[in-house]
């Protein structure tokens, strides 16, 4: 199996940035892994912070207020959405970079 395909699979299926490390781009891979962790942990923190309002909304509205709970979830977590979008953008960049970059610039 070609090195580029293995690197792309590592970045796509295991962890973005791992394919860059596999190809020898240590700095790029390390920065990507660090950013992935920051984006995911930040989104998780913001989502968990917003869960308090969602749970209170569910508790006081009961089963019939499912629409209200979903509306609260949509309105109270826009920053988490941006962080998750940044994660998926970085994931896509990692896969494409691992697949197309020849790895000649090993930094």
Query: Stretch 59-76: mean pLDDT, rounded?
Result: 64
Residue 106 belongs to some domain of the structure: no
Q: For residue 36, what pLDDT band results from cuts at 50, 70 and 90?
A: very high
Burial state string for 57-96 with b = 16 or more CB within 10 A and e = fewer than 16: bbeeeeeeeeeebeebbeebbeebeebbebbeebbeebbe
Q: For residue 58, what pLDDT band results from cuts at 50, 70 and 90?
A: low
Provide the pLDDT for residue 20.
93
Q: For residue 62, what pLDDT band results from cuts at 50, 70 and 90?
A: low
Residue 81 belongs to some domain of the structure: yes
Provide the pLDDT for residue 88.
92
Residue 105 belongs to some domain of the structure: no
Q: Is the pLDDT of residue 3 over 80?
A: yes
Provide the pLDDT for residue 80.
76
Q: For residue 49, what pLDDT band results from cuts at 50, 70 and 90?
A: confident
* Domain span holding position 61: 3-100
- Dist CA 58 CA 90 (whole Å): 34
Query: Stretch 52-70: mean pLDDT, rounded?
Result: 65
Provide the pLDDT for residue 70.
67
Residue 107 belongs to some domain of the structure: no
Q: Which tops the pLDDT comparison, 59 or 30?
A: 30
Domains: count for the chain: 1
Tell which phi-psi region holds residue 24, choosing left (phi > 0), alpha (psi between -120 and 50) or beta. left
């Amino acid at each position: 199996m070609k090195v580029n395909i293995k690197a792309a699979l590592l970045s796509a299926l295991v962890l973005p940035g791992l394919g860059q490390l596999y190809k020898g781009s240590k700095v790029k891979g390390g920065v990507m892994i660090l950013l992935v962790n920051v984006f995911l942990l930040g989104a998780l923190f913001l989502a968990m912070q917003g869960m308090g309002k969602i749970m209170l909304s569910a508790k006081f509205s009961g089963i019939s207020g499912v629409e209200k709970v979903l509306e609260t979830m949509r309105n109270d977590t826009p920053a988490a959405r941006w962080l998750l979008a940044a994660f998926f953008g970085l994931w896509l960049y990692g896969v494409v970079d691992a697949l197309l970059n020849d790895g000649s610039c090993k930094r």
